[in-house]
Structure formats: C-alpha cells, structure tokens
C-alpha cells in the first residue's frame, strides 16, 4: 500500500503539531489513498499519538536510540516511542548523518525499532558531488549495506527505504523521475529478498510534482518535509490535487 510520511523535523511544538493534525483530520476523508504517517518532534509524540488513535493517521518518530533503557541522557527508547503510539521511525535521515555524525550505529537502530514493533523508514541518498562523480548508486549501496548489516531479510519484512538525495532536500530541486526510478529499482533489486519492501522518494516533494514519482511502478510513496507542514498543502499532496 502507498505510504506518505510527513517529516516535520524540528518544526511545530506540541500545540502546533496538534493543530496541524486537526487540520489534516478535517481534510482527510477515509479511506485514504494509502497510509499516511505524521512524524512530529519527540516532545509532541504522546499528544499526537493520543489524537490520531482511531483515525486514518499513523504516528512516526524522527529518530530512535538502539537501547530500551539505561543511562543514555537525551535519547529515545524504542519501547517508549511505541508506548506513545509510534508505528514508524525515520532512521538515518541525512540531517542526522550530516549534523549529528550518525552512520555506524544505524543498523542497531533499525534492529531495535523492528524489535519494538516499529517499522523503520530507512533513509539513504547521495550528496551532489557524489552524484556528479557518477557515484550515486555506489554511495547508496554502501549506506544500505552498512545500515542493514547482520539483519536477515526475514527480519526486515515490511521495511520502508526512503531514497532522499541530499541535494534535493529543502532546495526545491528534485531528482528527475527517471533518476528516482533508477535508484528505486537498484534498491529493490538489492533488497529483493525482503518481503513487503516499500521504497519512498524524498526531496522537495510538493503537490505539483508528487504525481511524477507516485506514478512510477518502482516507487511506493513519499517522505515529505516542507510540504507536510501545512494541513492544506499536505492534504493536497496526499490526494494529489495540483491546485487548491
Ligand atoms: P523537503 O521535502 O523539505 O525537501 O524535505 C525532505 C526530507 O528531508 C524529508 O525527510
């Protein structure tokens, strides 16, 4: 089933997140075209989790730690996220890789999420120089191999992988549908043993360009930043209505 996830990053505290959820619920009439996941900041998870219970919206978080308890100041235990109602976790987002030095531990986060009953949305994607050097696929392959090491395909059933080229995030510039299709096809081939795999595209997805990605057979959904921050725009994107 199609999966559209809104990554609200460090925008919207609890009250604004709730307001955005109310705006979405007013506009989204079940059944939705697919699964819709909202990923508010961690401080809003419980509030939003309570509100989206028994609605068509699902709750996601933007990061997780790989331990379920202990002296890890500031971290988020997967089981605590699950308690708040989290079903999906964005893991290895490029902002976490670039700004917080994430990398080697990502596979442990993927594993811990799965063990807590949370579906990972694993993010991969190349930088602009890497694309220009013709290394987009080798870079993404290495990220996949590193992020999924030691995890047998049967454990990964239902995994979502978001291909988010770093240069397309927040820039208004997207990958061409052909490049996104190519990368999604390579990812699918690499993970062909994973049942129920979903591949999302992310990077400046808007109501006006979402169709170009969603109509591709290789792409099952989108991971959306800026265009998920307003109910009206996010709802149009979900229903693929170009003009409001
Ligand atoms: P934008 O949609 O704002 O480019 O952000 C994409 C993203 O990083 C989603 O995780």
- pLDDT of 242 strictly over 90: no
Known catalytic residue at 189: no
- CB of residue 170 inside a 6 A radius of ligand 1: yes
| Mean pLDDT score of the chain | 97
- Ligand 1 centroid to Cα of residue 93, in Å, is 10
As a CATH number, domain 3-238 is 3.20.20.70
Q: Number of helices (H) and strands (E), helices first, in the chain? A: 10, 8
| % residues pLDDT > 70 (the chain) | 99
Q: How far apart are the C-alpha atoms of 188 and 186, rounded to whole Å?
A: 5
Q: Facing residues of 86 across strands?
A: 59
pLDDT, average across residues 63-85: 98
- Ligand 1 centroid to Cα of residue 223, in Å, is 7
Q: Whose CA is nearest to atom 9 of ligand 1?
A: 225
- pLDDT of 27 strictly over 60: yes
pLDDT, average across residues 224-228: 98
pTM: predicted TM-score of the whole model, two decimal places: 0.97
List C-alpha distances in Å: 82 to 66, 76, 88, 147.
13, 10, 9, 21
Q: What is the pLDDT of residue 230?
A: 98
- pLDDT of 243 strictly over 80: no
pLDDT, average across residues 198-216: 97
| Lookup: tokens for 140 | 């993404």
Give the pairing of strands 160-163 and 57-61. Answer: unpaired
- Ligand 1 centroid to Cα of residue 100, in Å, is 17
- CB of residue 223 inside a 6 A radius of ligand 1: yes
User: If we measure between CA atoms, which residue out of 163, 217, 224 comes closest to residue 37?
Assistant: 224
- CB of residue 62 inside a 6 A radius of ligand 1: no
Candidate list 95, 126, 164, 218, residue with the active-site label: 164
Distance, CA of 58 to chain centre: 12
- pLDDT of 54 strictly over 90: yes
pLDDT, average across residues 47-71: 98
| CB 7 within 8 Å of CB 229 | no
pLDDT, average across residues 177-198: 98
Query: pLDDT grade, residue 29 (50/70/90)?
Result: confident
pLDDT, average across residues 183-212: 98
Q: Count of CB atoms within 10 A of residue 134's CB?
A: 8
């Amino acid at each position: 089933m199609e999966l559209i996830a809104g990554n609200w990053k460090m925008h919207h505290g609890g009250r604004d997140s709730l307001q955005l959820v109310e705006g979405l619920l007013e506009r989204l009439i079940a059944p939705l075209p697919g699964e819709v996941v909202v990923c508010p900041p961690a401080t809003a998870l419980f509030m939003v989790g309570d509100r989206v219970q028994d609605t068509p919206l699902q709750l996601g978080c933007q990061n997780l730690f790989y331990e379920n308890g202990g002296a890890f100041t500031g971290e988020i235990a997967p089981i605590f996220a699950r308690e708040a109602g989290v079903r999906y976790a964005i893991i290895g987002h490029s902002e976490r890789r670039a700004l917080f030095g994430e990398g080697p531990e990502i596979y442990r986060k993927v594993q811990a999420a799965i063990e807590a009953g949370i579906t990972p949305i694993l993010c991969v994607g190349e930088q602009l120089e890497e694309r220009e050097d013709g290394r987009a696929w080798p870079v993404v392959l290495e990220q996949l191999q590193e992020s999924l090491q030691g995890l047998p395909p049967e454990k990964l059933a239902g995994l979502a992988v978001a291909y988010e080229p770093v240069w397309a995030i927040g820039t208004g510039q997207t990958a061409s549908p052909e490049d996104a299709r190519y990368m999604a096809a390579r990812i699918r081939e690499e993970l062909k043993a994973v049942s129920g795999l979903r591949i999302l595209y992310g990077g400046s997805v808007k109501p006006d360009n979402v169709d170009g990605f969603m109509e591709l057979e290789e792409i099952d959904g989108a991971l959306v930043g800026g265009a998920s921050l307003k109910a009206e725009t996010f709802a149009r994107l979900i229903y693929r209505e170009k003009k409001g």
